[in-house]
Amino acid sequence: MGGALVRIGLVLGVVILGLAVVVGLGYAQLRSNAAADAAVRVPQQLSASATAPTTTPGTGTATPRVRVDPAWAQRTAAATGIPLRALEAYAQAELVLHAEQPACGIGWNTLAGLGEIESDHGRHGGSALNDAGYPEPPIRGPALDGNGVAAIPDTDGGRWDGDTRWDHAVGPMQFIPDTWARWGADGNGDGVADPNQIDDAALAAARYLCAAGPMTTPAGWRAAIFSYNHLDTYVDDVAAAANRYAAAVS
């Protein structure tokens, strides 16, 4: 596999089977509060509530829109502490995947766990998601220049990361441009697949995870999260976050 998903920060860089992984400082801090046991309980996959199935399909990379129930979203955001705009993106992606790939079984809380670890739901470094779903200021990982991290020369002409020499991980789900070129999705139906936009990034992440196979068993769930970042401790932390969100609404 070419390209990668990369974490913000600079603690450790490795390359495994062509997947570059950077473990960030924020992730290391989260590890101090999460279980380190590889047997962490796999989360129950929760489903969001929709007010309507789908609307008019888009074109190109666009996806049929699913409307998340606003009352459900408000209650769930209040119970979990997830920013409403981020929660709506995770829920919409889960509902779309339920229609596209029902056998996958991904839950919104799994995507929320991933979003927490990757960028604190778009809040890394003092950013915040605006109403359109873009973090302000934009979230960028360090230059992947081989200096303590994987070396990934520019693959997008600086389109997404603003760097024409080296790639950077981009946006709330931290996609590398090369990976985005293959997995990019248009979750908000505006005709553009943008890794900076939370609906697009959440849908792309959901499809990426489901490509690893059904997430309905502990082994399948762990394999999918491991495909996003090749560290068992990372898988454990996503599970811990997803379980916390499940418990908050139970």
How confident is the model over 177-197, as a mean pLDDT? 97
Dihedral (CA of 233, 237, 242, 247) sign: positive
What is the three-class DSSP state of 67?
strand
Mean pLDDT of the chain: 81
If you ran DSSP here, which 8-state letter would residue 42 be given? P
Which token pair is 170?
A: 């981009």
DSSP SS3 for 160? coil
Q: Give the integer Cα–Cα distance in Å for 135 and 122.
A: 6
Residues 120, 137: Cα–Cα separation, whole Å: 14
Question: What single-letter DSSP state applies at residue 188?
Answer: T
**Exposure on the CB side of residue 54, measured as CA atoms within 13 A:** 16
User: What sections of 186-228 are H helices per DSSP?
Assistant: 198-210, 218-228
Q: For residue 236, what pLDDT band results from cuts at 50, 70 and 90?
A: very high
Residue 167: which pLDDT band, with cuts at 50, 70 and 90? very high
Q: What is the DSSP letter of 43?
A: P
pLDDT tens string 133-148: 999 999 999 999 999 9
Q: What is the pLDDT of residue 67?
A: 86
